[in-house]
Amino acid sequence: MDYQSFAFLIGLPCKSGVGGGIVAVVPGELALCVWSPGLGSTGNSVVGMRALELFVAKTGLSVF
C-alpha cells in the first residue's frame, strides 16, 4: 500500500520510523502510538498499520 492510500484509509496524520513504530494524531484530541517490528515492502510496520485501521474503524475518529 502506498503512503497516499494509507493516509486516506486511516484518515489521521501519521509518522513512522525505521524501528516499526507509527505515531498517529487525532488533532486536538489524542496521540496514538503503535509498534511492531515486522516491516512491509514500504518499510512500515504491517501489524501497526492494521492496528491503526482497526482503531479508526471502531472509533470513527478520522480527519476525513
8 Å CB contact between 48 and 36? yes
pLDDT of residue 5: 79
Residue 7 has pLDDT above 90, yes or no: no
Q: What angle do CA 58, 35, 38 make, to 5 degrees?
A: 110
**pLDDT in the model for residue 1:** 66
Q: What is the pTM of this model?
A: 0.84
User: Hey, where are the domains in the chain?
Assistant: 3-59
Reported as a pLDDT band with limits 50, 70 and 90, residue 58 is: very high
β-pair partners for 14: 24
Cell of 34: 503503535
Whether the per-residue pLDDT at 2 is higher than 80: the answer is no
Answer yes or no: is pLDDT of 27 > 80. yes
Cα angle for residues 35, 1, 31 (degrees, 5° grid): 35
Helix axes of 46-59 and 3-10: crossing angle, nearest 10 degrees: 30
